[in-house]
Each structure stands twice: as C-alpha cells, then as structure tokens.
Amino acid sequence: MKEATGYWIIITSRGYWSKLKDMGVWGFSEKDKARLDTIKSGDKALIYMTADGGKYKSAIGGVVKFIGKPWKVDGGKNLFDAMYPNRIKTKVSQVIEPPLEFSQYVGKVSFVGKGKNWGSGLQGQPVKPITEEDYAFLMKEIERETK
C-alpha cells in the first residue's frame, strides 16, 4: 500500500529560495537530519520566505515536491556542502510572483500562533510538517490570488 503524501512548509530566505529553484536540491544540516529522514518522495511543500530581519514581509513564494531518497554529500567542495551535507531533490511546481504576504493567513492555519509573535513556531527549523487541511487551504488561496 502506498504511503500517504506528507505536507510541509519550508522556512527559508529569499536568497536561499532562489538557490533552491536553480539547484533543485534542499539541504539539511547534521542537526536537522532526523527531520529530513521523515520526508518521503512525493511529499509536497510550500515555500515560506522569512522577513530577512524586517527587510521584507514574510510571504509564500512557491510550491515544491520532494523527489527520491535523501543522500549525503561526502567531503564538501564549498561552504554550502559543509553546512548542509544532507540533501533531497526537489521539483518546483509553482513560483509565486509576487509572493503572497503571509500575515493574511495568521489565525487561518494551524501551524502558526495567533498573537503578535505568530511566527515564532517557524523559527530555527528548515522545514515543518503541516496538515493536509492547511496545505489545501493555502493552495486554494494561491490559486485565488494568482488568477
């Protein structure tokens, strides 16, 4: 029997989202390898772009699908390889331009709080599981906003 699709939110900067689109690979540190091991091929993720220290509004910038099995880069040719040696391939399903400001969804999805510090639950992790209901809700919002 096929495993159910998992749903995720990838927490990243605009700069790293740009690299992810180009590379087709999401990298995890050793500290976050256990989380990577729970991601399955075919799982889907929304891209949550942080505010980058208040430079931007946090926003949803795209949708990706995880492909294949995780692997580890041995050695490392550069700083990225050294910092994020654990990898999984991704396929970009959709780039959202302009990105959708996330604050309009606070109180409507279950993976963030409702108060002033609503985003604190996203800090310090590269990816977080979300419910199928939250994923479906946000995909409907993306469709509505990008028509």
Q: Which domains does the chain have, with CATH numbers?
A: 7-145 (3.10.590.10)
Task: Please name the residue that has the structure tokens 């995890």.
Answer: 28
Res. 2: pLDDT tops 70: no
Q: Tell me how far apart the alpha carbons of residues 34 and 55 are, in angstroms, rounded to a whole number.
A: 31
Distance between CA atoms of 135 and 23, rounded to whole angstroms? 24
DSSP state of 50: -
In the block, tokens 């993976």 appear at 111
Q: Render pLDDT for 28-56 as a digit per residue (tens, 0 to 9).
A: 999 999 999 999 999 999 999 998 888 89
Low-confidence winner among 43-47, 107-111, 117-121 (lowest mean pLDDT): 117-121
Give the SS3 label for residue 73.
coil
With a cut of 90, say whether residue 141 has pLDDT above it. yes
Instruction: Tell me whether the omega of the peptide bond preceding residue 129 falls within 30 degrees of 0, making it cis.
Output: no
pLDDT of 103 reads: 92
Q: How confident is the model at residue 80 (pLDDT cuts 50, 70, 90)?
A: confident
Is the model more confident about 83 or about 90? 90
Residue 123 reports pLDDT greater than 90: no
Which H helix or E strand runs over 137? helix 132-145
With a threshold of 0.85, does the pTM exceed it? yes
